[in-house]
């Protein structure tokens, strides 16, 4: 793995390439935030390209915590949590190291906003500086949007199975 630029939250506004997708799920804000932030081991069950995910060390987890993620295709990332704010519905992390070629800086932010007791708007923003081919892939809406919407459906299904 190689190190990426240690960007801050302002990178969201300054990145060469940004992609954001928004959808709704029939879950509570607490359920969605817990799935995003508190249970990385559950990501493979709902986020289609995730193979394994875990936090370094033991609890408590929060801002500054390191998360490891292995994706389909052999991509590995070491990420640092920058924002873990359940009350504001924001979970953001910076990719510190990866074996993915062509990426020089990357930050992702998830937002969770309750619309009702059991309906939530979820946003996923990817901010990235990378080579032209990688930027083109990130700007190509259909695959990323499809990944997100499938993930939200699976998240609903997984939550439903845990309730029963």
Domain ranges of the chain: 2-163
State percent of the chain over pLDDT 90: 87
In tens, the pLDDT along 12-40 reads 999 989 999 999 999 999 999 999 999 99
Three-state DSSP state, 58: coil
Whether residue 163 is predicted with pLDDT greater than 60 in this model: the reply is no
Beta pairing class for 50-55 and 119-130: unpaired
Task: Specify the pLDDT at position 162.
Answer: 60
Three-state DSSP state, 162: helix
In tens, the pLDDT along 33-85 reads 999 999 999 999 999 999 999 999 999 999 999 999 999 999 999 999 999 99
Task: Specify the pLDDT at position 42.
Answer: 93
Average pLDDT, the chain: 94
Q: Which fold has domain 2-163?
A: Alpha-D-Glucose-1,6-Bisphosphate; Chain A, domain 4 (3.30.530)
CA angle centred on 81, ends 46 and 55, rounded to 5°: 60
User: What band does 128 get if pLDDT is binned at 50, 70 and 90?
Assistant: very high
Task: Specify the pLDDT at position 142.
Answer: 83
Task: Specify the pLDDT at position 164.
Answer: 43
């Amino acid at each position: 793995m190689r190190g990426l630029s240690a960007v801050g939250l302002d990178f969201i506004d300054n990145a060469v390439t940004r992609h954001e997708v928004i959808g709704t799920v029939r879950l509570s804000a607490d359920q969605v935030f817990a799935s995003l932030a508190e249970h990385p081991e559950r990501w493979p069950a709902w986020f289609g390209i995730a193979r394994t995910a875990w936090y370094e060390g033991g609890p408590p987890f929060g801002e500054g915590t390191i998360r490891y993620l292995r994706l389909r295709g052999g991509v590995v990332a070491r990420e640092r949590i920058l924002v873990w704010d359940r009350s504001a519905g924001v979970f953001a992390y910076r990719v510190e190291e990866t074996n993915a070629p062509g990426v020089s800086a990357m930050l992702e932010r998830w937002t969770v906003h309750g619309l009702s007791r059991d309906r939530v708007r979820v946003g996923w923003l990817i901010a990235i500086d990378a080579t032209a081919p990688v930027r083109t892939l990130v700007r190509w809406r259909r695959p990323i949007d499809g990944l997100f919407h499938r993930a939200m459906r699976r998240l609903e299904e997984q939550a439903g199975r845990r309730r029963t």
